[in-house]
Amino acid sequence: MTNENKQQLIILTGTSSTGKTSLGKVLQRKMGDGTLFFESDAYLSMLGDKFSHFSINSTEPNEVLYVKQLPDQSYEVVSGELCHRLDATVIKAVEMLLASGFNVVLDSLMSDQTTLQHYKDLPYNILSVYLFADSELIAKREIDRGDRIPNSSQNWLKRFTCQNECDLLIDTGKISIEAACDLVLNKIIKS
């Protein structure tokens, strides 16, 4: 049961191009004032150009972020030490926002059970949502967006171990973002 005296954290996780950002913006709008949309990519962009201007040509290993082509011709995005260190502060930043009385919708590439459990252990109302879609649709979305490394989402998918621990799983290839938003909000109401 949702504790009405506590703030709500909605964690949106899933690989690139599954609709996390789109859903997060709709949730923020529908939840109204007092709800913040915490986009992990925007937070990590504080690392500067090596993060914010990251591209398929960013192949030089560094402490922020670079791309590595794999033998199967797909690409892996490699986070450097500085990226890992800043990413590790996200939970503290989110917790501070919740403690300040805000609801938070978190758009995150969080992929492991341990990190998800750290969030679930926070003394707030937590709803974790795993977004996914067919791999062909994700590849098409990556191309259509034009700002993603081709096929990198397939390598991110291999890292995901937390989907079965999420409270809600949504196939964004089968329903609209508006319908996904309704599912999330209804789940909160029923909790």
Q: What whole-number percentage of the chain has pLDDT above 70?
A: 89
Residue-wise pLDDT for 8-55, tens only, equals 999 999 888 889 999 999 999 999 999 999 998 888 888 888 777 777
Retrieve residue 87's tokens.
Answer: 């990413």
Retrieve residue 19's tokens.
Answer: 């609709």
Q: Give mean pLDDT, residues 156-170.
A: 80
What is the bridge-based pairing of β-strands 8-13 and 103-108?
parallel
**What single-letter DSSP state applies at residue 46?**
G
The span from the CA of 56 to the CA of 87, in Å, is: 21
Q: Give mean pLDDT, residues 158-166.
A: 77
User: What is the architecture, at CATH level 2, of domain 8-46+91-190?
Assistant: 3-Layer(aba) Sandwich (3.40)
What is the bridge-based pairing of β-strands 65-69 and 75-79?
antiparallel
Residue 40: C-alpha distances to residues 52, 69, 72, 84, 117 (Å): 12, 24, 29, 12, 18
Residue-wise pLDDT for 27-37, tens only, equals 999 999 999 99
Residue 190: C-alpha distances to residues 4, 37, 116, 187 (Å): 12, 22, 21, 5
Helix residue ranges, H only, 45-176: 49-52, 81-87, 90-99, 113-120, 135-145, 152-157
Residue 103: C-alpha distances to residues 66, 125, 140, 153, 177 (Å): 33, 9, 33, 29, 20
Residue-wise pLDDT for 55-66, tens only, equals 777 888 888 888
pTM here?
0.86
Q: Give mean pLDDT, residues 164-180.
A: 95
**What single-letter DSSP state applies at residue 173?**
T
CA angle, 146 then 168 then 2, to 5°: 125
Higher pLDDT: 153 or 9? It is 9
> Nearest CA to 15 among 164, 175, 142?
142
Amino acid in the structure at residue 43: Y
